[in-house]
Structures are given as C-alpha cells and as structure tokens.
Amino acid sequence: MIDVFSSGVTTLAEASMEMPSIDDFLPPEILFQGTPFAINRIIFVRILATIIMLLVLGITAARAKLIPGRWQGAVEWFVEFTEKNIVYQVMGEVRGKRYVPMVVTVFACMLVFNLCGEVPGFNIAASATITLPLVFAMWCFVQYWIAGIREKGLGHFLRDEMFPKGVPVPVYILLAPIQLLELLIIRPFSLTIRLFANMVSGHLILALCLSATQFFLFEVANKAMMPFGVITFAAGAFMYLFEMLVACLQAYIFAILTTAYINMSYPEID
C-alpha cells in the first residue's frame, strides 16, 4: 500500500511539481505534437487502459466455458448485472434487448477509465478530459433521438416532450422551451459535467493529500510539522478508497442515466 502511494506521489511530483492543479487535465502533447493524432498523458492512459481491457475481456470471452471459473463468473456477473439490473429494470426486456450491448460498452468503459485514477502509474482517470464523457453522452444523445423518431416520429416525439399532457396551456410558454433545451443540451451536458467534475475533483483532492504527505514527511524544513504528514496520509488513504467508490458509482450513474434517457423516448404505455 505504501509502495502504491509513494509511486503515485513520485509520478505526481514529476507531473505537477508538488501541487496539483487543473493543468493536470491539460497535459502537454507527448506524441505526434500538433497533428490531429496528438497524444497527451491522459490519452496515453486511455489507450493503454483500452488495450488492457480489450485483452483481458477478449481472452476471457475467447476462453469462456459453459462451466465458469471464478474470473469468468465475475465477468458474467458484470454482464448480467448490466443486462438485468440496469437495462431490463429500466426499460423492460422487450425494449431493452437492443440496448444491452451499448449499455455494457458504456458501463465497462466508464468503470475502467474512471478507475485509472486509482491505478498507480496512471494516477489520472482516463475519463478526466471533457471529451470522453462528452463523446459518450453524444452517443446517448443520438440514441435517444433515434429511438424517439423511430418509435413516435419526429413530430410526435417533439410534441410529447415539449407539451406534456396535464399541464395548463399558458404554462407551455415556459415549459416548452425548457423541455426542448433539456432534450438538446441539458441531458448530454449534465451527463458530461457530472462525470468530468467528479473525476477532476477526485484527482485534485487525492493528489493534494498525497503531495502534502510527501511534503510534510520528506521535504518540510521544520521537522515538527511531520505529524501532519501522517494525517494527510490517512486522509489520502481514505480519499483513495472513496475515489474508487466514486469511480464505480459514476460509471453506474452514467450507464443507468443513458438507459433512462433512451427509455424516455419510448411511448408511455407499457
């Protein structure tokens, strides 16, 4: 555990010079600078995490047997949890079937990318640029528009969304623009900002605790300040576990909201 933290601290110290800042999320391009394929630290982490995830899950799927081992059982549990407890519970089995692969993709990617922030050496969530949650949110956006147009037709879909039944007519003046705004902007951007802000704040707090620990234990001139290092280390350990929880929770929230938004495009009757 100590190794984990100290290695984390060294990387952080190199990357951010003691104090974490929002520059951590705007790292310099390290490969293909200036081209559309430039790679910075976060993108590098993202590519690496993707390769690891595809390898691990690919090997698991290729070796999958009828009678599962422990690891296969865990992977199967993840798939069945996403299928039954997220998609089918929100949408029902008939509607949900076509969206299972999408939600599994979203949930698995988010889980892996968010947890990169807690992996020593990576030390930053792969989802910690605005782009990644935005792209996933746009996927959700496209899907719920397609679902709405396919199930109701564009006119009916917009009418149902902007002029919900059971509301006094004058209220529509206020309600209709808000509903349209919700449909076009609020939904995808709330998805994006929620995840991104969580990853940014999580990284900042964790890095602050750990760099403070480094500072108080090794670099401080006044040795009387060293006990503070113990406190910040305890806080860092707590934040580390807390950020793991947040990573999983935010992935889950992203997946379930994606499902819920798509489901809202379907007609009410069930």
Partner 1 sequence: MVTLAEDGVSLFLPKSYDIIWTLVILIIVAVFFYKFFLPKFQAIFDERAAKIQGGIAKAEQAQKEADEAKNKYEAQLGTARVEASKIRDDARAEASHIISDARARAESDAAQITANAERSIESMQQKAMVSLKGQVGDIATQLAGKILGSELENKNVQSDMIDKMIADLDKQNK
Residue closer to partner 1, measured from CB, 65 or 223: 65
Instruction: Show the tokens assigned to 217.
Output: 């234990």
Residue closer to partner 1, measured from CB, 5 or 136: 136
Q: How many CA atoms lie within 13 A of 13 on its CB side?
A: 14
3-state secondary structure of 40: strand
* Shortest Å distance, C-beta 238 to partner 1: 26
Residue closer to partner 1, measured from CB, 64 or 249: 64
Residue closer to partner 1, measured from CB, 75 or 251: 75
* Shortest Å distance, C-beta 228 to partner 1: 26
* Shortest Å distance, C-beta 54 to partner 1: 6
- What are all long-range contacts of 87-93, with beta carbons under 8 Å and residues at least 24 apart? 87/259, 90/256, 90/259, 90/260, 90/263, 91/259, 91/262, 91/263, 91/266, 92/270
* Shortest Å distance, C-beta 116 to partner 1: 13
Distance from C-alpha of 75 to C-alpha of 79, rounded to nearest angstrom = 6
Cα dist. 212→6, 16, 43, 124, 185 in Å? 12, 13, 27, 18, 39
* Shortest Å distance, C-beta 91 to partner 1: 16
Residue closer to partner 1, measured from CB, 100 or 206: 100
Q: What is the DSSP string of 56-99?
A: HHHHHHHT--SS--HHHHHHHHHHHIIIIIIIIHHH-HHHHGGG
Instruction: Show the tokens assigned to 164.
Output: 């919900």
* Shortest Å distance, C-beta 255 to partner 1: 13
Distance from C-alpha of 129 to C-alpha of 25, rounded to nearest angstrom = 6
Cβ proximity of 32 and 44 under 8 Å = no
Residue closer to partner 1, measured from CB, 104 or 115: 104
- Residues in contact with partner 1 by CB under 8 A are 22-23, 25-26, 29, 32, 35-40, 42-43, 46-47, 50, 53-54, 57-58, 61-62, 64-66, 75-76, 79-80, 100-102, 104-105, 108-109, 129-132, 134-136, 139, 200
